[in-house]
Amino acid sequence: MGSARCRSRLRRAAVVAASLASLGVAFAPTHAVAAAPNQKAVCLAAYEDAQRLRVASKLVAAREQLRVCRADACPALVRNECEKWLGEVAESLPSVVLSARDPGGKDLIDATVSIDGAAPRGLDGKSVDVDPGSHTFRFQRSKDVKEERWLVRQGEHNRVIVGVLGESPSPAVSGPAVASGAAVGGQPSSQRTIGLVVGGVGVVGLGAATVLALAANGEVNTLRETCGVGQKCTQDQVDAVAGRRTIAGVGAGLGGAALVAGVVLFLTAPGGERAAASLERRPADSARFWRSWTWSASPLPGGFVGGARASF
């Protein structure tokens, strides 16, 4: 149906053009007789070519032919049709905006691009009209070349296409030996650090519990030598001493548990086995962690109290 209408319009335009040409021969000056028919023939040829190119989706070439057949010198019927079709082609004609960048995202203004094997052109940031369909874009800058194939859709305007030229910088790679050495002889891991802190808290707790237990033990001896002789000690005095001894016992238990937990955290940390082996092989290095260690115990009625002291 569309082809039939197109052929009908072409025949109608041909008839109009032939009539205009006849009038030109009858009334125009002699030197213009040959020019008029030639111009009408150009208009009709452009009209027919534009229709054929539109059907083939060659919209860029169709636009050029429509610009020819819409000229004022063309017959009114042909000119009006071409003017309408030119607007439709302009709406359907896709366009792309081409640019080249390095791997860091910097624009490469001295790069060039070739579209479908055509001559290379510079990159100026302006849109380029292309026919709908698949296209090959070849970006180049010196010896760096990047070729990409893109599908451009009909009616798609100002689609941005970027070619990345150049090699990305290689990231620095740390060897396993360096990482292992850092864990043992350099900065300790977070678990080892937590182990040292928890162990230190345990040692401090044991020390405080020992001091409190010794003080309570001294108060017991004082009570025995004074009011205890005649059993005249008040209940408040007895309860105060008993409370201190209880606190000392609880503190000693918590401190010991914290010390054990700290040692476990330290030895089970990533690289802890290697660190322990290294410390065993190098006793001098172990002095940086444990400079001295002492343990003391004092008997108490119904039990005993112990204490530990370590210096780092």
Q: Which of 95, 112, 96 is nearest to 165 (CA)?
A: 112
Domain boundary among 71, 92, 113: 92
* pLDDT (0 to 100) of residue 255: 75
**CA 47/CA 292 separation, integer angstroms:** 104
Confirm whether 120 is domain-assigned: yes
Cα–Cα distances in angstroms (integers) from residue 3 to residues 84, 86, 127, 136, 144, in the given order: 17, 18, 33, 32, 48
Q: Does residue 292 share a domain with residue 214?
A: yes
Q: What is the pLDDT of residue 261?
A: 82
Predicted confidence (pLDDT) per residue in 120-147, tens digit:
999 999 999 999 999 999 999 999 999 9
Long-range contacts of 283-288 (CB under 8 A, 24+ apart): 288/312
133 lies in the same domain as 208:
no
Across 186-207, average pLDDT: 75
- Tell me the residue range of the domain where 214 lies: 187-311
31 versus 166: which is more confidently predicted?
A: 166
H helix runs in 28-107, sequence order: 35-55, 59-69, 76-92
User: Which helix (H) or strand (E) is 94 found in, with range?
Assistant: none
The answer as to whether 175 is a domain residue is no
Radius of gyration for the alpha carbons in the chain, expressed in angstroms and rounded: 49
Give the count of domains, the chain: 3
* Tokens matching residue 275: 């660190």
Residue 30's pLDDT band (cuts 50, 70, 90): very low
Residue 215 in this model has a pLDDT that exceeds 70: yes
> Is the pLDDT higher at 229 or at 269?
269
Asked if 122 and 149 sit in the same domain, the reply is: yes
Most confident of 8-12, 164-168, 229-233: 164-168
Q: Which two tokens stand for residue 118?
A: 């055509």
Residue 283, pLDDT score? 47
Q: What is the pLDDT of residue 216?
A: 75
Confidence (pLDDT) at 36: 56
pLDDT band at 17 (very low <50, low <70, confident <90, very high): very low
307 part of a folded domain = yes
The region of weakest confidence among 87-91, 208-212, 237-241 is 237-241
Domain-located, residue 170: no
Domain end marker among 40, 63, 92: 92
- Cα separation, 286 vs 187, in Å, equals 15
Give the tokens for residue 215.
């003080």
| Same domain as 264, residue 195 | yes
Q: Is the pLDDT of residue 307 over 70?
A: no
With bands split at pLDDT 50, 70 and 90, how would you rate the model's confidence at 302?
very low
Question: Comparing 274 with 191, which gets the higher pLDDT?
Answer: 191
Determine the pLDDT at residue 273. Answer: 54
pTM (predicted TM-score): 0.45
* pLDDT tens-digit map of 57-92: 999 999 999 999 999 999 999 999 999 999 999 999
Mean pLDDT of 220-240: 73
Mean pLDDT of 267-295: 54
Which phi and psi angles does 188 have, rounded to 5°? -70, 160
